[in-house]
Amino acid sequence: MKRTKTILGDLNINLLEFNKKDSSGNYLYDMPNVVSVRRMSNYLPSWSGPDITSVIEDMTSFSDVPLLCEDKKCPFSEQCPLSKNNLLNRWVGNPCPLDQIMAFRLFAGYVNDMEISPEDFTDLKLVNDLIRLNIQLDRAEKLIRKESPVETMVSGVDAKTDLKHNTRQPNQLIALQKSLRADISSTLKQLLGTRQAKLDALAKTNNKASASDWMADVMKKAKEVANAEVEQEVKPGSHLEI
């Protein structure tokens, strides 16, 4: 039995079906969004279809960040399983399907882990930034694997002595990688901060509500007891115990 090749983990993109069509004649993985809203719903169980559609349309990391597919001319073609399997003819000139899939995986991961709702505007903007940074980092690391850079020799002239000298500096890709990781860490801290603030506010509100409900319940019971005592009928010959 021939093993099915898949990429990108849980989204289970089947390379053998990438250019196949369904019974209606539509590609299983089609443009402009390689991952359909129906399929996205499987990975965002707390979101409705309209929620997904409206939010995704506003996410620039889905529309602006993916590179335009160039198939074999793409600088990352050697690392692209779709290009290596000659599956991208119809996709040339359109947003890279792998970038789109990666963007959605990141989106679903952050939304599910942080329990973000479609109405959480600030959090979604931070998630958008995190997706952009992560995709850029992925590209930088692909180039690092391709070029295997360590450091760069830079020639210069001493301003005081006019003597030429060479200095070793970190390769630009290594510096970019470090910068992107720092930006991701900073943005993630902001996202965690906004989530914690909301959770604290919710907990405070819930505590107030719980205390209020408890007090109301106590007062209600006290009133019921008082009414029962007042309405108690004293029959002839009976006496009240004090």
For 202-211, the pLDDT digits (tens) are 777 766 555 5
For 165-223, the pLDDT digits (tens) are 666 666 788 889 999 999 999 999 999 998 888 777 777 776 655 555 655 665 666 56
For 137-170, the pLDDT digits (tens) are 999 999 888 876 665 555 666 667 766 666 666 6
User: Considering only 56-65, 69-78, 219-228, 232-241, which range has the smallest mean pLDDT?
Assistant: 232-241
Report the predicted TM-score, pTM, of the whole model to 2 decimal places: 0.72
Confidence of residue 6 (pLDDT cuts 50, 70, 90): low
Confidence of residue 238 (pLDDT cuts 50, 70, 90): very low
Three-state secondary structure string covering the chain: CCCCCEECHHHCEEHHHCCCECCCCCECCCCCCCCCHHHHHHHCCCCCHHHHHHHHHHCHHHHCCCCECCHHHCCCHHHCHHHHCCCCHHHCCCECHHHHHHHHHHHHHHHHHHCCCCCCHHHHHHHHHHHHHHHHHHHHHHHHHHHCCCEEEEEEECCCCCCEEEEEEECHHHHHHHHHHHHHHHHHHHHHHHHHHHHHHHHHHHHHHHHHHHHHHHHHHHHHHHHHHHCCCCCCCCCCCC
